[in-house]
């Protein structure tokens, strides 16, 4: 584990907006009693992993905020079964092809719940036990404002993750947990696909790098589900404007390099 220093917001002549942001940061940092809100965007999750994800989150977060992207199945009814769902927004038409709007809306809705910390989770992600055990110490402190984790893309089941030149996000850090700072810049890049799950401005603040891991199960299904994703990605991003065409094509690899997942002690 490690730490990262903030970009100095006071460099040069500080604007009034930056001064307000700095004052806000000092005011909201607390060493105890922080409220943790998880936020998810979901669409057509029947028969997938949403139940497991909501059950796990309900065990360690204080509230859940969900934006349903015009699901055509019983995803909304499933979400309503969990008492910790504090906000559930149902969209009349899907925004998946304009993902920046979906991410922005989710952030706006989550901010209305007066959170202290926000955890951005997708409907196919499960945190390992030691990450859950560390969650409260990670947020009940006044030294840093975001936390990153290592994500593993599971492939062909729940025992191995993909590990090659196109699928190696587990070798990097992904910021998914941030202290909510009222008034701090919260813009998302206007991308249609592969939009960062949290406002990029937060990365300029002090953060914490961890080796806690997250299982991404979205690619763990059968060949048909992978093929459907391949065609969806190619339709959304035919020129590779938002992602890597080489990675899209690698979805079709019948013999990818896989590494066995081992539980951490």
pLDDT tens for residues 127-184? 999 999 999 999 999 999 999 999 999 999 999 999 999 999 999 999 999 999 998 9
* Residue-level pLDDT at 28: 77
Q: Are 40 and 65 in contact (CB under 8 A)?
A: yes
Q: Is residue 69 over pLDDT 50? A: yes
* Residue-level pLDDT at 5: 33
3 state SS of 115: coil
Each residue's pLDDT tens digit, 22-45: 555 556 799 999 999 999 999 999
Residue scoring higher pLDDT (2 or 208): 208
Domain boundaries, the chain: 2-260
Q: Are 208 and 146 in contact (CB under 8 A)?
A: yes
* Residue-level pLDDT at 189: 93
CATH of domain 2-260: 3.90.550
Residue scoring higher pLDDT (7 or 205): 205
3 state SS of 125: strand
Q: Is residue 102 over pLDDT 50? A: yes
User: H-helix or E-strand containing 162?
Assistant: strand 160-162
Query: Residue 106 to residues 26, 53, 103: CA-CA distances in angstroms?
Result: 25, 17, 5
Its pTM stands at: 0.89
Q: Is residue 218 over pLDDT 90? A: yes
């Amino acid at each position: 584990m490690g730490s990262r220093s903030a970009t100095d917001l006071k460099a040069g002549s500080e604007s009034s907006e930056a001064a307000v942001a700095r004052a806000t940061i000092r005011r909201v940092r607390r060493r105890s009693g922080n409220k943790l809100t998880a936020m998810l965007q979901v669409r057509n999750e029947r028969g997938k992993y949403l139940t497991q994800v909501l059950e796990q989150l309900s065990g360690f977060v204080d509230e859940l905020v969900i934006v349903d992207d015009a699901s055509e199945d019983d995803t909304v009814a499933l979400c309503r079964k969990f008492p910790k769902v504090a906000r559930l927004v149902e969209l009349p038409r899907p925004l998946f092809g304009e993902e920046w709007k979906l991410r922005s809306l989710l952030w706006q809705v989550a901010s209305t719940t007066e959170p202290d910390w926000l955890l951005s989770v997708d409907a196919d992600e499960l945190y390992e036990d030691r990450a859950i055990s560390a969650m409260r110490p990670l947020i009940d402190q006044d030294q840093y404002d975001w936390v990153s984790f290592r994500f593993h893309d599971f492939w062909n089941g729940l025992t191995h993750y993909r590990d090659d030149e196109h699928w190696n996000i587990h070798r990097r850090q992904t910021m998914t947990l941030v202290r909510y700072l009222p008034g701090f810049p919260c813009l998302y890049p206007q991308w249609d696909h592969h939009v960062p799950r949290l406002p990029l401005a937060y990365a300029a603040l002090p953060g914490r790098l961890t080796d806690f891991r997250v299982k991404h199960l979205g690619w763990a299904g059968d060949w048909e589900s992978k093929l459907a994703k391949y065609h969806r990605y190619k339709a959304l991003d035919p020129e590779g404007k938002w992602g890597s065409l080489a990675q899209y094509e690698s979805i079709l690899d019948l013999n990818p390099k896989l590494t066995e997942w081992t539980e951490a002690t």
